[in-house]
């Protein structure tokens, strides 16, 4: 697979795109904004046509076209990607995000790299004025980017465990339902128990419940027996003996 296919596969595995805001990611963007001293901070994820913001501080937009994304350049790096003044950088000077809102001047993006080495987006800090980041700030931004990946991994694990638990509960319900069924021979009406022995119904009930069975004859069966043993239904040679 090429880099784009790997990125899309990783995003599908995380199941993160277009999901609602979550506190774990919002906390990391707030820390990024505070540490870097920028009014804007984003957790940006890139698919084949856009950059989508899982979390954003100081920016109302939820996504932008991929061709305008600073992050598309940042994911090609293995360290913090810095643009001190976008108006003086020929790669970005005519970018609509620079010439128009949010009027980006400064950009710093740490790539979000999975355990498999796939860059899926960035944790970035943005300002509307030119500036720089200290080495300590860059190190902190890199560390926070790793925490974003940990949050994604934790989210994926929790989701997988929840799904497994739901499947287990469904299986237990099915087992309970099957156990509630009473296997009965269609011919002799004996019942099969858990040890695969076939018992008379009364013996099964006595072994598996507090039910005590007594015997009698229902009116329908009594009528059949009475008719069967009626003198008119007996052979001539047996009528005299009845």
Does a structural domain hold residue 111? yes
Asked if residue 242 is part of any domain, the answer here is: no
Q: What is the pLDDT of residue 191?
A: 75
> What integer pLDDT is reported at residue 174 of this predicted model?
67
Residues found in the chain? 242
Whether residues 33 and 107 fall in one domain: yes
176 assigned to some structural domain: no
Average pLDDT over residues 125-150: 97
Question: Within this chain, do residues 25 and 143 fall inside the same structural domain, yes or no?
Answer: yes
Judgement on whether residues 101 and 209 belong to the same structural domain of the protein? no
In a shared domain, residues 151 and 186: no
Residues 54 and 142 occupy one common structural domain: yes
Average pLDDT over residues 119-130: 98
96, pLDDT greater than 60: yes
Tell whether 7 and 67 lie within a shared domain.
Answer: yes
**Are residues 29 and 126 both part of a single domain?**
yes
Average of pLDDT values for 97-104? 96
In this model, does residue 189 exceed pLDDT 70?
Answer: yes
Is residue 173 a part of any domain in this protein? no
Pairing of β 191-192 and β 119-127: unpaired
Domain check: are 118 and 64 in the same one? yes
Same domain, 25 and 126: yes
Distance between CA atoms of residues 57 and 145, nearest Å: 15
If you average pLDDT over every residue of the chain, what do you get? Answer: 88
Residue 238 lies in a domain: no
Q: What is the Cα–Cα distance from 176 to 188, expressed in whole angstroms?
A: 26
CATH number at residue 91: 3.30.450.40
Is pLDDT of 241 > 60? no
Domain that holds residue 54: 3-161
For residue 102, is pLDDT > 70?
yes
* pLDDT for 33 beyond 70: yes
Place of tokens 């009475």: 226
Total tally of structural domains belonging to the chain: 2
> Closest Cα to residue 124, out of 217, 55, 64, 23?
55
Question: Does 52 have pLDDT greater than 90?
Answer: yes
Q: 186 and 81 in one domain?
A: no
Q: 167 lies in a domain?
A: no
């Amino acid at each position: 697979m090429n880099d784009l296919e790997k990125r899309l596969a990783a995003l599908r595995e995380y199941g993160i795109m277009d999901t609602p805001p979550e506190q774990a990611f919002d906390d990391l963007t707030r820390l990024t904004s505070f540490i870097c001293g920028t009014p804007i901070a984003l957790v940006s994820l890139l698919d084949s046509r856009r950059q989508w913001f899982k979390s954003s501080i100081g920016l109302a937009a939820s996504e932008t076209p991929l061709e305008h994304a600073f992050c598309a350049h940042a994911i090609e790096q293995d360290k913090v990607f810095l643009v001190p003044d976008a108006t003086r950088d020929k790669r970005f000077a005519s970018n609509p995000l620079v010439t128009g809102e949010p009027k980006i001047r400064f950009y710093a993006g740490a790539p979000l790299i999975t355990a498999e080495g796939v860059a899926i987006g960035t944790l970035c800090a943005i300002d509307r004025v030119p500036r720089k980041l200290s080495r300590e700030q860059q190190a902190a931004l890199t560390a926070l980017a790793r925490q974003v990946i940990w949050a994604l991994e934790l989210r994926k694990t929790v989701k997988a465990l929840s799904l497994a638990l739901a499947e287990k509960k469904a299986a237990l319900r099915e087992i309970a339902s099957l156990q509630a069924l009473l296997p009965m021979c269609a011919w002799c009406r004996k019942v099969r128990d858990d040890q695969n022995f076939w018992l008379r119904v009364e013996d099964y009930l006595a072994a598996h419940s507090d039910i005590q069975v007594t015997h009698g004859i229902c009116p329908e069966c009594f009528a059949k027996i009475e008719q069967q043993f009626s003198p008119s239904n007996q052979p001539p040679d047996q009528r005299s003996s009845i």
